[in-house]
Chains A and B, each alone.
Chain A
Amino acid sequence: GESVGLHLPTLSVQEGDNSIINCAYSNSASDYFIWYKQESGKGPQFIIDIRSNMDKRQGQRVTVLLNKTVKHLSLQIAATQPGDSAVYFCAEKGVSSASKIIFGSGTRLSIRP
C-alpha cells in the first residue's frame, strides 16, 4: 500500500563513534540557530545554540558549526551513547528578539550497540 506522511531521515551510528547531523536553513536573515533533541513522547530539549556572528560553538560533547555562505548547520556529538537516541531538530530564528522559531524537518539518530 501507499505510505502516508513524512519519514524522517535516519542516521545510524555505532556506540562510541562520533555523530554528525546536518541541516540546511532557509532564511539568510536568520541570526540565531538552535539544536533541539526530542525523545519519544517528550518535548524538544535545548542542546546548543549559535549566533550568526560565530561559525563554531562547543558544549559538553556537542559542537555546532555554522556556514552562512551555504546556509548550513551541523551538530556533532562526540562518543555517541545510547541516551543520545532521539530526533534532532535544527531551528532558526529571525532578527526580532522574541519571534517564532522555525523548525527543520528533523533527523532520527539511532545507536547500534
Chain B
Amino acid sequence: NAGVMQNPRHLVRRRGQEARLRCSPMKGHSHVYWYRQLPEEGLKFMVYLQKENIIDESGMPKERFSAEFPKEGPSILRIQQVVRGDSAAYFCASSPSQGKETQYFGPGTRLLVL
C-alpha cells in the first residue's frame, strides 16, 4: 500500500527558471492538497484540488504559481520564474473521497533556488 509519493525529493533551480513538483496521491484518494513549509515553521496551505478541478486556491501566491490535478497522472505544482524566497519544502497531502477528513502527507520536495 504505497503512501503519497512526491518527486523529485530535492530540486535546485537558478533564479528565473521553472520548478515542477509532482505528487501522486494514495491509491483511492481523489483529494490533493499542497502546503509549503519554511524552516522552523508550520506548514501553510496553498491549494486544494480534486481531479480536474481547483477547489480552493486561497493560499496560492497570485503570480508565478499554478497547480493542476489532471484526470490521468500526478498533481503538478508549477512555479515559474523562481526567486530565492521560493526556497522551501513543499508537501503534498491526499485524502479519500466521500469526505473523509484525515490528510496523509508525502515526504516533500525541498526546493533550493540559487
Contacts and interface: CB of A to CB of B under 8 A. Distances in A.
B91 A101 contact: no
Contact of A49 (B42, B93, B95, B102): B102
B108 to A, nearest CB: 5
Given A98-B101, A100-B56, A101-B33, A7 B107 contact: no
Contacts of B44: 103
Nearest to B91: A43
Interface string B21-59: 000000000010101001111111100100000011011
A41 B72 CA distance: 29
Tell me if A's interface is mostly helix, strand, loop or mixed. Answer: loop
B99 A98 contact: yes
Sorting the interface of chain A by its residue count into under 10, 10 to 19, 20 to 34 or 35 or more gives: 20 to 34
A69 interface: no
A3 to B, nearest CB: 10
List the 6 shortest-distance A-B pairs measured between CB atoms, nearest first: A97-B99, A103-B42, A43-B105, A100-B45, A44-B105, A103-B43
Interface of B: 4, 31, 33, 35, 38-45, 48, 55-56, 58-59, 91, 93, 95, 99-108
